[in-house]
Amino acid sequence: MKKNVIEVKNLEKYFEVSGGFFSRKKATVKAVDDITFEIPFGESLGLVGQSGCGKTTTARALCLLDPKTGGEVSFYNNEKSEMESIDELEGEELKKFRRNIQMIFQDPYESLNPRWTIKDIILEPLNIHNIGDLDEREEAVAEILQTVGLTPPENYMPRYPHELSGGQRQRVSIARTLIMKPKFVVCDEPTSMLDVSIRISIMDLMLNLAKDLEVSYLYITHDLAVARYMCNRIAVMFNGKIVEIAETEELLNNPVHPYTKRLISSIPVPDPTYDRKVYDINFDELDSLIEKHGSDSPMIDIGNQHYVATHDVKGLI
Q: Is 162 in the site for another protein (CB under 8 A)?
A: no
DSSP state of 274: P
Across the beta sheet with 4-18, the strand order is 26-40, 4-18, 70-77, 82-85
Q: Smallest distance from the beta carbon of 41 to another protein, in angstroms?
A: 22
Q: Is 1 in the site for another protein (CB under 8 A)?
A: no
Number of residues near another protein (by CB under 8 A): 36
Footprint (CB under 8 A) of another protein, residues 181-210: 195-201, 203-204
Pairing state of beta strands 70-77 and 4-18?
Answer: antiparallel
Nearest to 219 by CA among 180, 256, 250, 174: 174
Q: What is the spatial distance between Cα 20 and Cα 16, in angstroms, rounded to a whole number?
A: 12
Residue 135 vs 271, nearer CB to another protein: 271
Binds another protein by CB under 8 A, chosen from 64, 252, 289, 290: 252
Q: Smallest distance from the beta carbon of 136 to another protein, in angstroms?
A: 32
- DSSP for 62-130 reads HTTSS--SEEEEEEEETTTTEEEEGGG--HHHHHHHHHHEEEE-S-TTTSS-TTS-HHHHHHHHHHHHT
Q: Is 274 in the site for another protein (CB under 8 A)?
A: yes
> Could you tell me which stretch among 4-12, 226-234, 282-290, 291-299 binds another protein (CB under 8 A)?
226-234
Footprint (CB under 8 A) of another protein, residues 41-60: 50-51
Binds another protein by CB under 8 A, chosen from 20, 67, 270, 294: 270
Q: Is 268 in the site for another protein (CB under 8 A)?
A: yes
Nearest to 40 by CA among 233, 230, 272: 233
Q: Which residues bind another protein (CB under 8 A)?
A: 50-51, 165, 167, 195-201, 203-204, 222-226, 228-229, 249, 252, 262-274, 276
